[in-house]
Structure 1
């Protein structure tokens, strides 16, 4: 079979419909947020009292006044229909990690046999989707179907377009009939409020005025693009999102020529189209570039409020997937779609800001004198050290296990990179020396033609899972396919806890007569001394660091998802979530159960897909090849090749028999036992099958091998 010819024909015949072209110069000015019901759009459509009431909810967290719901619903419906929408949906984020939606028409029949478009305040505020088929972790039995979606006014409604129309999407929370959160949005909103309640009192002690404080986030998204023809010839990609087979190609990322290289025209056209749609949805995408691996790319937005950033991240993934198909491509968001090349992450750039727009992690020109900045930095250090287990759990998944700890991703050990300047400042505070250490200076480039460049006082560290990068912390361990809601929820909550504790200490010292500067200095010194074990500015990939982290510093190294999951419901973490009202004990344990369940199902699908491909595609192909070889009666080469292929085929067969046995076994009755069976037995059996198959791929005729190769997948666009 000639896979090359198929994709070459598709690539040669690919053309973009001129009707799909956009004028790039008009994107920002005319398109941005054009499909979003912004505050300005609402202001124009609502009376002043109604708008003020809604604004109080959005900006100050006031309780939503239900009496204004009908008025807001009418304005929302009118706006949506002007945009071409015929249906509306409560758009929510169940515990699958994806999004969900049920569409209802605006059309209502009249007594006269006609129809009118209606949308009431009741329909806006609440809907009742079937909750029985969504993961609940035991919060609901299968026969208990009732669940509710509740309008989240803090996240604006938007229009999602398709080829034949448009739908009004209303961001909502999702809860059970008994009131427990069945989604990722509700805990996120609770954690934002927890952060606000903790940080606002701290700012008052520093004399900083702020009505509200929230977290901000910019989430970078890495992904692969492959030819659509190849995707459908790879059952492993279609079923599991990653290649379960594939020999290393002669060329991968060794030449380092793809990173930041010129973007291919077809890919650039796809990117421009996707960005145009994201601009219309109000997503502030800023950066696009080639990533490290061939066929890998990245898109990144700028900062926005974290709850909106979480919504936008889900939309980014949806737009990337949908748009790629228009260009004969498929976007792969799996953390490790190809073995042996760079995996994909989702770097979460997190900070805190006031309602006035002040970034609380902005060090300014003199960070050594900025005691408010250093106070909040100390709180983050304390939070990460005390809750490294929670941060690790927040990014745990079967797919991310293939990436974390490899030489292209942060290790599973959580640590903080502060950089030389900030580390030096904190070291001086600890020693009592004070003053400013590392200077930024100017970088001369050795020729008068090039201008001198201002140099940062500290370098960057791509091996760190949690790095300070100038005015924010970058949590680099999140996986490319996951929702960012859980990592943000954890970050907000643990920092709220640390800030609250340090604020109480600060208040006590001030009440005892200490000056603000002395009190803050003492707190920073004590906090840094106690928690600086979590600070590491070196090579996170090195084996020496793993030994030092575990044996000398006592840091956790939770290598796999199943090592991390039990920490979620520890007494410490349940108490933390309940203290701030982010998650109840039942909600925590439900999420733990769901994580086990998703892990089991993910690996189970991969195991059965591996068995299917090996049994029905690879073994028959190699046997056919051996039959053709047997027709060659003479020559040492034919005889030697026959012997090699025969030995490898037998090895594949034997490994496959073990995998079939492991797939048939359950490992136990409980989901925890089944998950551990997947990790400890099915994954090793899959790897043995793959190892034999990948060696066969290197010797079996290309015309006989049924799967498109890595060479074709990664390099043919």
Structure 2
């Protein structure tokens, strides 16, 4: 079984091992230099690589190739072209050239571009990214690519990510040079834990709100939610286990190192966690994983929901982004056994603290979405206020540095179960704060704010860029320190920086009202909705950051802001329209019909038996008729405010109305409908309830 498992790992990927097998040694070396050292790739090498890719792919049954890219929609896109090249004699050959490998030409006007391209300016280019392996999916050779406009602006999420990784590489090398180290490359490593729900397909098909919006716009709490916690790490349903086995098998074929799978806290919720790797590859793999999850669920009569909050009142789904960076030989976020003496680690840690504090608004913006607005702030999701959790040991060290005095080494305590046959082991010096947006977890940071449905490129691009800026500022200061000894200058720099930025550190309960008040006193930003957060993207200081670090031009920043605004408004419009229609056409008729049944029952009984006690029935009828009235009023209120939103000419004004007026109106209408669900007879209720959807065999 072990041989079978390892033999099929990576079989659908044009990996380094496959390249060695299919490419001449000189071509392989040149391609390796391009991948590892960023050296240009000439056309002769590209032609040889394209031929090898085609031969390998066809040996695996592939018939087409596609440039696989990440437009600003946040999902992946592809256009399939066959290897077939017809000849004049009516026959055909299989052909795939280096030019076709390196460059494609998608329609740049048909994807979101934030005003960068008009419909009559359709030309765009996709460019091969050799640092992320090509793979075969559904008999198609998929080639990861960047996507840009005819005039060169990035129209995708991969390009800015690669730029941010490059600028972090440059600045981290400058810092390491101060310590006498000169690594060949700095690699940003990422691991995205993916949470999701699996529900029966037959239930999904009866819920128009799930089909249209990805979440339930209506639904009373189930009789049993997640209060007993028996779902978490419990036995996995046989149906779900079969899905997970197939998913693992497919992902392993793509060399996606799917490592951990388990139930999550909410019923019908699950998680998959990979081994983390190079950020560019990790994000490609996460997007591929999400795609395969949605596809394979149908093989088992299930639907995979990746919305951040498909069900009210229970945990939402996130995409915990584990992030670190390092050289070929060391993780720069590894504190070592004595972090208080590890100046290199303390420099890196301080730069990260400074970056998160300086650009907390950008980090919040990077995870802003219609779905994440419902998730942040409760049920194990972090709040919308960005803060850093370091744990006791590092917090003491940072506090000591900020105040200008040292901190002694904290010995690890042993954890003893009190049973002789059970092992004892060292207790970690930090716990895990589930409410922290940005938590240190031993040798990496876990950014817990990204939602389950998002492309994690945005969050990592912002994080890389912000940290690169802090590293640059440190390197600039140290390179111009004059006659001051490096260690003395570095410690003084750390002291001043930590004293200024320690306000971002918080170890308590992020859900408490006291923290919201304290965060305001500290001057931390708080953007509860996407409409509030998106303007941060185009704030002057943030545009300056992206331009200085050569990650995004001002035009590219503003185009992305417009795309995000447009998507938010469109999703909110769909939700409001779906809600209005469902409330009027799906729920009102059955509630009214049930009220009529109760009324007829009262009339029938009192006609036959005038003295019959009918007070309970009359009370029930009163609740139903008042509920119908509340629903009508809710529909009218939502319709009016929805029309106001749609009439806004400015996208930001429209988003503000959706966030602060339409969303509360939707909440009120939902409450009115949900109040009727426990009262109306089961056979009358028109859709599957939470009880039906979440608890299945």
Alpha-carbon distance in 1 for matches of 2:100, 2:402: 58
Alpha-carbon distance in 1 for matches of 2:201, 2:657: 34
Partner of 1:534: 504
Partner of 1:642: 621
Alpha-carbon spacing, 1:297–1:27, altered in 2? closer, same or farther (3 Å)? farther
175-184 or 445-454: which moved more?
445-454
Alpha-carbon distance in 1 for matches of 2:664, 2:491: 52
Q: Does 1:351 align with 2:351?
A: no
Q: CA deviation at 1:505?
A: 1.6
Q: Deviations over 1:162-202 (max 9, x none)?
A: xxxx1100000000111100000000011110101111111
Alpha-carbon distance in 1 for matches of 2:100, 2:78: 14
Q: Deviations over 1:14-51 (max 9, x none)?
A: xxxxxxxxxx6455411111111011211222222222
TM-score (norm 1): 0.94
Gaps of 5+ in 2: 606-613
Alpha-carbon distance in 2 for matches of 1:65, 1:320: 38
224-233 or 617-626: which moved more?
617-626
Alpha-carbon distance in 2 for matches of 1:701, 1:614: 18
Partner of 1:496: 468
Q: CA deviation at 1:667?
A: 3.7
**Candidates 453, 458, 461, aligned match of 2:430:** 458
Q: Does 1:562 align with 2:547?
A: no
Q: CA deviation at 1:435?
A: 4.4
Partner of 1:586: 555
373-382 or 259-268: which moved more?
259-268
Partner of 2:546: 577
2:430–2:441 CA contact under 8 A, matched in 1: no
Alignment size in residue pairs: 686
1:194–1:580 CA contact under 8 A, matched in 2: yes
Partner of 1:278: 251
Alpha-carbon distance in 2 for matches of 1:304, 1:401: 29
Alpha-carbon distance in 2 for matches of 1:338, 1:435: 47
Partner of 2:490: 520
Q: Does 1:33 align with 2:13?
A: no
Q: Does 1:140 align with 2:117?
A: yes
649-658 or 83-92: which moved more?
649-658
Alpha-carbon distance in 2 for matches of 1:408, 1:428: 31
Q: Does 1:629 align with 2:598?
A: yes
Partner of 1:46: 23
Partner of 1:8: none
Alpha-carbon distance in 2 for matches of 1:340, 1:489: 32
For 1:297, what is the secondary structure of its paired residue? Answer: strand
Alpha-carbon distance in 1 for matches of 2:40, 2:265: 47
Q: Deviations over 1:220-243 (max 9, x none)?
A: 011111000000100000000000
Q: CA deviation at 1:630?
A: 2.7
TM-score (norm 2): 0.97
1:87–1:103 CA contact under 8 A, matched in 2: yes
For 2:77, what is the secondary structure of its paired residue? Answer: coil
For 2:480, what is the secondary structure of its paired residue? Answer: helix
2:84–2:94 CA contact under 8 A, matched in 1: yes
Q: CA deviation at 1:397?
A: 0.7
Q: Deviations over 1:425-460 (max 9, x none)?
A: 222333443243432121111221211121111212
2:109–2:117 CA contact under 8 A, matched in 1: yes
Alpha-carbon distance in 2 for matches of 1:385, 1:243: 36
Q: Deviations over 1:35-76 (max 9, x none)?
A: 110112112222222222111110011122233111111001
Q: Deviations over 1:634-688 (max 9, x none)?
A: 3333322222111101111121122222333324112222222222332222112
1:417–1:468 CA contact under 8 A, matched in 2: yes
Alpha-carbon distance in 1 for matches of 2:145, 2:453: 21
624-633 or 459-468: which moved more?
624-633
Partner of 1:651: 630
For 2:433, what is the secondary structure of its paired residue? Answer: coil
Partner of 1:66: 43
Q: CA deviation at 1:599?
A: 0.7
2:70–2:76 CA contact under 8 A, matched in 1: yes
1:667–1:676 CA contact under 8 A, matched in 2: no
**Candidates 469, 476, 499, aligned match of 2:448:** 476
Alpha-carbon distance in 1 for matches of 2:5, 2:496: 48
Q: CA deviation at 1:78?
A: 0.5
1:424–1:437 CA contact under 8 A, matched in 2: no
For 1:337, what is the secondary structure of its paired residue? Answer: coil
Partner of 1:97: 74
For 2:88, what is the secondary structure of its paired residue? Answer: coil
627-636 or 38-47: which moved more?
627-636
2:316–2:379 CA contact under 8 A, matched in 1: no
Alignment of 1:232-247 (within 5 A): 232-247=205-220
For 2:63, what is the secondary structure of its paired residue? Answer: strand
Q: Deviations over 1:241-267 (max 9, x none)?
A: 000000011110111111111111211
